[in-house]
Structure 1
C-alpha cells in the first residue's frame, strides 16, 4: 500500500509494547520505542487493509488469526538483497567448502545447501549460478538448493524469479545473458531450468519444530539475519542451525556476525575467502 494513502495512527506505549512482544515471540526480531514510526506505519497499513480504526481491535485480530499474523510478519521483514551479495562466501563455497564436503561422498550423491533467509530469491539463485559457473564438479553430484524465509510474500516473488536492474547490477553481463530471459517491463526472469532447480519453503529460524521437515543440510548460508535478534533469540537460532546442519557441515554467517558469541558447539574455520563455522 502506498504510504501516502495509509492513515496515520498513534499507538499508546502499551499497544506499542504489545506489538513488539508479539513480533519478538513470532520472529525473534526486536521492535521497540526507537522504531515507533516504522511500527506505526506498518501496523497502520494492516489496519487500513482490514478496515479497522482501533489498534486494540487490530491487536485482538492479529493475536488470534493466523492469516493476519502472517501478513503482519511479512510487513515487518526486511528484504534488502541482490545477486552475488557477499560473493567471497560463494567463492569459499566452490573453492574449499564443497570440495571438503564431497570428499566423503561418491559421484551422484546428494549435496544439500540451504539459504536462510533467502528473501525474494536472489541469494538462493546466486548459489546455483555461482556453482554452475565456478565449480567444475557441479554436474558430478546431485545438488539440492533450498531457499527459506519467514516472509511468505517474498517466497512467492522468489518462485517467480523476476528482477529489476538493481538486483542484477553486480552480475557480469555474460552471466545475466546466460541465466535470465530478455528484459520485459524493466524486469528479467530467471530461466525456467534454474527456477525449477531451486526449491523454496517457508521457515522460522527460532521455531525448531517447524524446521524439522526440511531435514539436514551440508551447507547453510544464514547471512545478515541474526543482527536483528537479541542474545536469547541468537542462542535459539544457533541451536536450531546446529540441529539443521549435518555433522561435518558448514554454516556461513554475515560479515558482521560471529557464532562464537552465540554457541560453543561449532568449530570456527578460517578459509582463504571467508570465516565459516563447522559442526564437528
Structure 2
C-alpha cells in the first residue's frame, strides 16, 4: 500500500490473518511484515472479487482452494541448482556411505528434500549423486521433493528452468541432464524428471508428513528460521518421526537442532555439520 493510502487491514484483521497463516504454515506474519502481507492479500482479494477484508477472511475458512492460493502467495521460492554444495559433498562422501553399510545392494535408500520449491534442490541431489557417488546404481535411491506451495510443485514436475537457476551448475552437467528450449530455458531430461517424486506436504502437519513415509536422509534447509518456537517443536517432532533410526538431517547453515530437539545428535563431518536420529 502506498504511504497516502489507509492500511488495508486493521490491527485485528492483521492479527486474525496472522493466526490463520501460523496455524496453516507455522510461519509468523505480524505488524513488522504488514506491507508484505497487505500486498499479497490485496492481490488475492482482487482476483477473487472480494470487496471486504472480513468477507475474504471468512472465505479462507471454508474455501480450501483459495486458502491454498493465499499460502502459495506467501511462500519464498528463491533457489537455484547446486546451492550450498558442501552438504551434497557430505552426502556423497560420508552420509550415504555410512547408510549403505547398513543395507544390502539393491535396497531402498530414501532422501527427502523439503521445502523443495520449484525442484532445483531434489534435482541437484540426483545430479550430484550421479556425478559424485560411485555406488548410486548399487542401491534403489528414491528422492522425494515436497513443498506446501502447490504452484511450486507443479513447476518442479515440469522441470523447466532459466539461466539464473542454472548459473552455478557445471556446464558439463547442463549438457548431460538438460535439453535446451527457447529463450535460454532448459528442461530436465525425462529420465531424471521421472526419477524424482514430488508431493505437496506441510512440515507442521503430521498427517501430510506421515503420508510420505520414512527416510534415510532429510534436507530441510532454511525453513525453521521462519517458524516460532511452537512451530519449530512441531516440525522437529515430525522430522524425527520421518527419519529411520540412524538417519541424517541436514539444516541450513544458520540453523541448529541443538536448541530445539535433544533427540538428534550433532555430527561433525569433513564437509558439513549434520544431525543424526539416535
TM range (shorter): over 0.9
1:14 maps to what in 2? Answer: 12
1:187 maps to what in 2? Answer: 185
Q: Cα deviation per residue 1:66-99 (whole Å; 9 max; x = unaligned)?
A: 1111111001000010001110000000000000
4+ residue runs over 3 A deviation: none
Give the counterpart of 2:81 among 72, 83, 87: 83
Does 2:52 correspond to 1:54?
yes
Give the counterpart of 2:66 among 57, 68, 91: 68
1:221 maps to what in 2? Answer: 219
1:149 maps to what in 2? Answer: 147
Q: Cα deviation per residue 1:15-53 (whole Å; 9 max; x = unaligned)?
A: 111111100000000000000001000001110010112
1:261 maps to what in 2? Answer: 259
Contact 1:221 1:251 in 2 (8 A): yes
2:103 maps to what in 1? Answer: 105
C-alpha deviation, 1:186, in angstroms: 2.6
Question: How do residues 159-170 of structure 1 correspond to structure 2 at under 5 angstroms?
Answer: 159-170=157-168
Give the counterpart of 1:32 among 22, 30, 33: 30
C-alpha deviation, 1:63, in angstroms: 1.4
Rounded Cα–Cα distance in structure 1 between residues aligned with 2:54 and 2:183: 42
Rounded Cα–Cα distance in structure 2 between residues aligned with 1:186 and 1:173: 14
Give the counterpart of 1:276 among 256, 271, 274: 274
SS in 2 for 1:259: coil
> Gaps (5+ residues) in structure 1?
none
1:252 maps to what in 2? Answer: 250
SS in 2 for 1:247: strand
Rounded Cα–Cα distance in structure 2 between residues aligned with 1:183 and 1:86: 27
Which structure has greater helix proportion?
1
Rounded Cα–Cα distance in structure 2 between residues aligned with 1:187 and 1:35: 34
**Which range moved further: 90-99 or 174-183?**
174-183
TM-score for both structures, normalised by structure 2: 0.97
SS in 2 for 1:126: helix
Instruction: Count residues with an aligned counterpart.
Output: 276
Rounded Cα–Cα distance in structure 2 between residues aligned with 1:9 and 1:123: 38
Contact 1:226 1:257 in 2 (8 A): yes
SS in 2 for 1:167: coil
Rounded Cα–Cα distance in structure 2 between residues aligned with 1:99 and 1:154: 31
Rounded Cα–Cα distance in structure 2 between residues aligned with 1:253 and 1:187: 30
Q: Cα deviation per residue 1:92-112 (whole Å; 9 max; x = unaligned)?
A: 000000000010111100000
TM-score for both structures, normalised by structure 1: 0.96
> Gaps (5+ residues) in structure 2?
none
Rounded Cα–Cα distance in structure 1 between residues aligned with 2:264 and 2:225: 19
